[in-house]
Chains A and B, each alone.
Chain A
Amino acid sequence: MAENVWILGIHMTKFGKHPDLDTVDLGAQAARGALGDAGLHMRDVGVLAAGNLMRAAASFGQQLQKQIGQTGIPVFNVANACATGATALRVAIMAIRAGEADVGLAVGVEKLSGAGLLAGGTTKEQGDTWSPQGRFGAVAPLDGRIGTETMPGVFAQIGMEYGHKYGGADFELFARISEKNHAHSTLNPLASYQKRFTLEQIMNDVMVAYPNTRPMCSANCDGGAAAVVVSESKLRTLSLEQQRRAVKISASVLTSDPWQEACQVLPDVNTLTRAAANQAYEQAGVGPDDLDLVELHDCFATAELVHYDNLRLCPPGGAVDFFNSGATWRDGTTPVNVSGGLESKGHPVSATGIANIWEIATHLRGEAGDRQIEGARVGLAHVIGLGSACGVHILEKAAA
């Protein structure tokens, strides 16, 4: 039986615009913040997992070491779409569970300020003559000619499909989800945007891909997040104060999408999320009713709705009623995205999967300030990257 793994230190930079910091600067800020929080140094760390997508071929982890400490330890540079940060953390956790290290550092960072729409894959230049290329023998780019590959459009369809299947989800309902997350963000000083929007403002804003208007889409921004994880036996050698603030990783799961009819026509974000959630609840020995807060991947307002169901926060098909009951507001029974979520906190892709963990850990430590969920003991963090990859982590407060 592999031993438990704990978060000893964790840090998230301010999300937003950082014109004076490059990718490595942001990563260094996150990593040194996490090490400081843990009370450890790079020389204590046995494995580094580093996530960055925009410069995925640049050995970001080694560049980071040159700024914070080159100690010769193995570096795993990971890239897994929007689940990159969670994947980095998962790698560090696996190394500890395998007994290869007793301290691991996971870092995720992205510079996305000013980036446009996150589009899909098959774009190609149009030449002077129509000539078939690629696996579809396409003579022109397919995005926009055969449906859409843009992220707002893909996730819009995923929400619309759920809404049609179970009823009750219209434009206004999706806008209300966004209204909640923006309202939550006003209490989070690290969020990119801390602005409350009225329902009318959200619905009348620029339509990007119906039913997602601009405030219903995740915000491109710069940011970094990092976590120091340790084995339980290592934790027991540390100070009582370190042990008191440590957060138990009760479940760490990463899935990809199993084959389903149509999954290569419209990405199926449901099946792999359900699988990850089921495995995580099993590993942790807790159920959805035990969760005091959830950070889930609201890359678009339409995505948040389906994940209520996928994470089993509500009965199958019951996401609309669940939301309408007020359950997911910060004073509800299962607060969701009290950080403001990706729609207002922001979505610096590779940082997101660790930033969500930071949010949960901060509440479990009782250190979330004005937005503290009182008495929080168990929380779940979920991310999904199209392609697809899904990370689910369940965290628990240290026993008093």
Chain B
Amino acid sequence: MSERVPLVDYLVLTGTPHLTAHECTACGARYFDRRNACAACEADVFRVVDVPTEGELRAFTIVSYAAPGIPVPFVAGVVDCGGTSVRANVVNVPADPEHVRVGMKLRLTTVPLGADAAGTEAVGFGFEPAG
């Protein structure tokens, strides 16, 4: 099997795929990117924590005009994963307002993004309806 790389460094592909966040040890604020200091409390010590893989759709839109190479229409949204808000696409669901609704239960899944010249496959993530 060829090598795989995650789309972003906060997506963990080993074991059960999941997201991680940098959590401020002083106040608990969570960030997906690296931080110089906490925007909420100015502390500068962070630990890496796992983000729950199941959540609830908090807001969404169905995007019809996007950057080149992005298939449209697609569903973009914000998922509340046990109190941590995650930006993601909603996948494996028809991209229409009859099938997507705020409050629906979702779970994390991975999305293949293709291989580069060296045969390395990039893997992204999205959230799909959970049952």
Contact residues of A with B, CB < 8 Å? 117, 119, 123, 126-130, 132, 134-148, 150, 152-153, 156-158, 160-161, 163-164, 171, 206-212, 259, 261-262, 264-266
How many A-B pairs have beta carbons closer than 8 Å: the answer is 144
Is there contact, CB below 8 Å, between A266 and B85? yes
Is there contact, CB below 8 Å, between A142 and B8? yes
Residues of A within 8 A of B34 (CB): 135
B67's contact among A144, A261, A266, by CB below 8 Å, is which?
A: A144
Which residue of A has the minimal Cβ distance to B33?
A135
Bound-state Cα–Cα, A207 to B74, Å: 12
Is there contact, CB below 8 Å, between B59 and A146? no
Is there contact, CB below 8 Å, between A150 and B66? yes
Is there contact, CB below 8 Å, between B67 and A140? no
Bound-state Cα–Cα, A140 to B7, Å: 7
Contact residues of B with A, CB < 8 Å? 5-10, 29, 31-34, 39-40, 58-67, 69-70, 73-74, 76-78, 83, 85-89, 97, 102-103, 113, 116-118, 120, 122, 124-125
Bound-state Cα–Cα, A117 to B70, Å: 15
Interface SS of chain A: loop
Is there contact, CB below 8 Å, between B64 and A208? yes
Bound-state Cα–Cα, A163 to B60, Å: 11
Is there contact, CB below 8 Å, between A266 and B7? no
Bound-state Cα–Cα, A361 to B118, Å: 63
Q: Show 20 A/B contacts (Cβ-Cβ < 8 Å), sorted by A.
A: A117-B65, A132-B9, A135-B33, A139-B7, A146-B125, A147-B76, A147-B77, A150-B65, A150-B66, A157-B61, A160-B61, A161-B58, A209-B61, A210-B61, A210-B62, A210-B64, A210-B97, A262-B85, A265-B87, A266-B78
Bound-state Cα–Cα, A134 to B66, Å: 21
Which residue of A has the minimal Cβ distance to B102?
A164
Is there contact, CB below 8 Å, between A147 and B78? yes
Bound-state Cα–Cα, A210 to B97, Å: 8
Residues of B within 8 A of A137 (CB): 8-10
A165 to chain B, nearest CB (A): 9
Bound-state Cα–Cα, A164 to B29, Å: 25
Bound-state Cα–Cα, A147 to B86, Å: 9
Is there contact, CB below 8 Å, between A266 and B9? no
Bound-state Cα–Cα, A144 to B68, Å: 10
Is there contact, CB below 8 Å, between B118 and A129? yes
Residues of A within 8 A of B113 (CB): 140, 145
B88's contact among A141, A146, A206, by CB below 8 Å, is which?
A: A146
A145's contact among B7, B32, B86, by CB below 8 Å, is which?
A: B7
Bound-state Cα–Cα, A259 to B43, Å: 14
A148's contact among B7, B61, B117, B124, by CB below 8 Å, is which?
A: B61
